[in-house]
Each structure stands twice: as structure tokens, then as C-alpha cells.
Amino acid sequence: MSARIGRGIGAAYLCLFLIFMASPLFFVVVNSFNDAAYSVFPPKGLSLRWYRNLFEIEEFLVAMRNAVLIALAAVAVSLALGIGIALAIVRGSWARRETMQSLFLAPLLVPRIVIGIAVFIAAIKASLYPTFTSIILAHSVLLLPYIVSILIANLLQVKRVQEEAAMDLGANPWQTFRLATVPQITHGLLVAAIFAFIVSFDEFDVSLFLTRGDNMTLPIRMFLYMQEQDNPTLAALSTLLILLAGTAVFAITRISRGADLMSLARRQGE
């Protein structure tokens, strides 16, 4: 009886938590279909006018393009660096491996606004302000801790037998990595890339210091639009971003589940 009561309390707590988390998103989604020229709940009528209005605003289209291109470039840079760092931490002969890992996770503990100010000053000194290069480099710094931690977890599960077999057959280190290591961490690379893309696409604090005019990203453009307008256009855009985030979470879940099944199959095969 006590166990059943405990499960009931846990289920009720979970439901309340989900309602608390999802209710703001529910209001945003409903408001995006509002027929009125201002945000009001409940809506007096339903319409898709604000979705049409969103794609008629040139500034939003440019900001979307910028956010996608910056995120793709930042993911590429941070992945290239993150793979090397993760390999060095996992395979290196470090006396304090945990300390090295913590060092690369340090940016997660630093307030984003502090990183933004630091990168802003560095970009001015290097004559990179305001350019896409400075934003990409700043986003890469933010993404690196996430990518390194994900790849370390994957590299620790890599079977060294395949790498040793490749080297015994005459493969050099690069060929061994490409043919024996990468196939075993493909799922981790995909998860890291998707997660890092969402983080970069949604980044506000650091981008606020580095974006001006034509290189403005979507979160900054949304913030500026909110200062000037009070219509449901931002609700429509937010609904699309919710769908994007939900799709990313679904993809990460499916990829992770596939990786778990493949790992289980390999263990059973052994």
C-alpha cells in the first residue's frame, strides 16, 4: 500500500512539473494563431496571418540565415577541435585526467555575459569586430565543453581491438582513426553536432556583444523586434523554434537508442 501511495505521489508530482514547464509554451503556441493585432489570451479568433507576416519580414529571414550559417560553422570548428581534445584526454598519459577534463569544461561555469565581454574586447583588439569570424569563434568556445564531454563518453566505450587490428594490418594513425575509431563514435558525433547546433542557434548573451547590422543572429533580432512591436509574430517564430528543438530532441533520442542497441549487439557477439 505504501509503495502504491509513493508511486501515486511521484506521478502527481511529475504531472505538476510537466504542466508547470509546458504551460508557457502552450500559451505561446496558442497566441501564434491569434487573429488580433496584439497578443491576447484566449485569442478571439484563429488565423495564420502571423506566420505569413514572419516570412514577409526581411530582417527575420536574414537573421535566420545568419544563425544557421554561424551555427554550422561553429559546430564544424568545435567538432574538429573537440575530437582532438577528447582523444588527447582519453588516450593521453595524463596523471590527472579528470583535471584536464574539468579544464575544458570550465567555460560552462563562467557566466555567458563575462565570456561575451572578453570575446568582444579580444575581437576589437584583433580587428574582427563586427564580423562573422568573431561570432563563429565565440560560439565555438561555448560549444567546445559540450562536444568534448560527449565525445569523451563515447571514446571511453571504443573497443581498442579494432584499432589494434587496423595497425597490425599496416594502417597509419590517421587511417586507424578514420577506419576503426570514427565508425565506433559516429552516433556520438551526430549527437554532439545536433546538440551544439541548437546551442549555437539559440545563443543570445555572447552574440549580443558581437552582432551588428547584417551579421545579426535570430535571437538578437527577436529581442529588438520585441522592443518595437507587440503582435504575435514572435509567438509564431517561437512556435517554429519549439518544433525545431523538439525535432532535435527526438533525433538525439533515436540516435542514442540506436547506439545503445549496437553496443548491446557487440557485447552479445563477444
Tell me the pTM.
0.84
* Domains recognised in the chain with CATH numbers: 58-269 (1.10.3720.10)
The pLDDT value given to residue 258: 63
Residues 5-28: tens digit of each pLDDT: 777 787 888 888 888 888 888 888
Q: Which residue has the cell 548491446?
A: 264
Please determine, for residue 105, whether its predicted confidence score (pLDDT) is greater than 60. Answer: yes
Are residues 235 and 28 in contact, defined by beta-carbon separation less than 8 angstroms? yes
**130 upstream amide cis, omega within 30 of 0:** yes
pLDDT digits (tens, 9 = 90+) for 166-206: 777 777 878 888 888 888 888 889 999 999 999 999 999 99
Higher pLDDT pick, 209 / 36: 209
Residues 66, 151: Cα–Cα separation, whole Å: 27
Q: What mean pLDDT, rounded, does the chain reach?
A: 84
Exposed/middle/buried for residue 103 (C-beta within 10 Å: 0-12, 13-18, 19+): middle
* pLDDT tens digits, 120-166: 999 999 888 888 999 999 999 999 999 999 998 888 888 777 777 77
Whether 201 and 248 have beta carbons less than 8 Å apart is answered as: no
pLDDT band of 264, cuts 50, 70, 90: very low
Q: Which amino acid is at 21?
A: M
Q: How far apart are CA 120 and CA 128, in angstroms?
A: 9
Taking CA atoms, 38 is separated from 35, 156, 230, in Å, by: 8, 53, 6
